[in-house]
Amino acid sequence: MNRVSCVALSGGVGGAKLALGLYKAMTDPSELLIVANTGDDFEHLGLRICPDIDTVTYTLSGLSNLELGWGRQDESWSFMETLGTLGGETWFNLGDRDLALHVERTRRLQSGNSLSDVTADIAQRFAIKAAVAPMADHDVRTIVETPEGPLAFQHYFVRDRCEPTVTGFRFDGAASAAPSPALAAALSGAGPNFVVICPSNPFISIDPILAVPGIRKMLVKSAAPVIAVSPIVGGQAIKGPTAKMMAELGMDATAQGVARHYAGLIDGFVLDTVDAAAADAIMANGPDVLVTNTVMKSLEDRVSLAREIIAFSEQLKQR
Ligand code: FO1
């Protein structure tokens, strides 16, 4: 395996945008390891679905569906339409092209391949030069606690459109999981130059990764600066239910609230210019702060944010 100089922890859409920026900004993209959350994974229609791995893979290969934020571009939906006419479950949309990936991954997992091996091989087939790995090869399932009882993650997220009030989260299976071999190798020995926590939802995208025994400890022990990018800008999530969840959990739905959530883990925090006023308060709690434009509308925005993070990591290393 290549030397890893950057480890990026990512959920789906927001995380994958920055992962793409890093991929384009790094001198040698083969030194990038993107570790995807697998707490969102589930078994559906007999298939193993790994939304965050697939979002990262499609994004890095230039095949992602930019309108939906998930799935593939140039997609057709004959399978779903036909399934509907047969009275099948249609609340979770699987495009025809996307479906092929789920079928092939499920076949390989059933014949004994690890999720790491399947993910790495598929990334290679999509001509991705960076390494893409799951957080763990074991099954970890995010459960959303609500006043009406626990909900499997995709039931909460897609079927119920994030409407139920959140009272907490559980990561079933995490206690008996272990970091994926690629992540464990990257964080041991000399370690990477820096670690980026992408602007993904802290509770449902990053916390499941940190819940895998050993990962948080390795990150804290590593000499590499750990830099988190705020998914909250001006009190709003760029996408998804982060701000809603923070409010429901009784937390400050602000970038500062996110920085507090990562206290003890991060050395650097990237804050949007609209939240610049919070920089001093965040620094008072430990991490150094980079204030910049974090809203990634174009590819140029992604690359330029990634370049700033790389420069910030070099400053942090000199401390
Ligand atoms: N998100 C939706 O909102 N609706 C869907 O029907 C849906 C289908 C889907 C299929 C494959 C895939 O890889 C992702 C899909 N997503 C869908 C996205 C996914 O549920 C979430 O965005 C992530 O789990 C959160 O990161």
Residue 12 has pLDDT above 80, yes or no: yes
Task: Summarize pLDDT for 71-118 with one digit per residue, the tens.
Answer: 999 999 999 999 999 999 999 999 999 999 999 999 999 999 999 999
Mean per-residue pLDDT for 9-30?
A: 97
Residue 244 has pLDDT above 80, yes or no: yes
Reference 302, options 11, 7, 20; nearest CA is 20
Residue 1 has pLDDT above 70, yes or no: no
41 C-beta closer than 6 A to ligand 1: no
Q: What sign for the dihedral angle of Cα 238, 241, 247, 249?
A: negative
287 C-beta closer than 6 A to ligand 1: no
Mean per-residue pLDDT for 251-265?
A: 94
**Minimal-distance CA residue to ligand 1 atom 25:** 12
Residues 164, 154: Cα–Cα separation, whole Å: 12
Residue 310 binned pLDDT confidence (cut-offs 50, 70, 90): very high
Task: Summarize pLDDT for 35-81 with one digit per residue, the tens.
Answer: 999 999 999 999 999 999 999 999 999 999 999 989 999 999 999 99
Q: What is the pLDDT of residue 285?
A: 86
> For strand 141-146 and strand 168-172, is the pairing parallel, antiparallel, or unpaired?
antiparallel
Q: Confirm whether pTM is higher than 0.85.
A: yes
The answer for residues whose C-beta is within 8 angstroms of residue 206's C-beta and 6 or more apart is 9, 11, 37, 197, 200
231 C-beta closer than 6 A to ligand 1: no
Q: Where are the domains of the chain?
A: 6-317
Ligand 1 atom index nearest CA of 98: 11
Which of 38, 93, 103, 135 most suits a substitution to test ligand 1, by most atoms within 8 Å of the C-beta?
93
Which of 77, 83, 158 most suits a substitution to test ligand 1, by most atoms within 8 Å of the C-beta?
158
CATH of 6-317 given 3.40.30.10, 1.20.200.10, 3.40.50.10680, 2.30.110.10: 3.40.50.10680
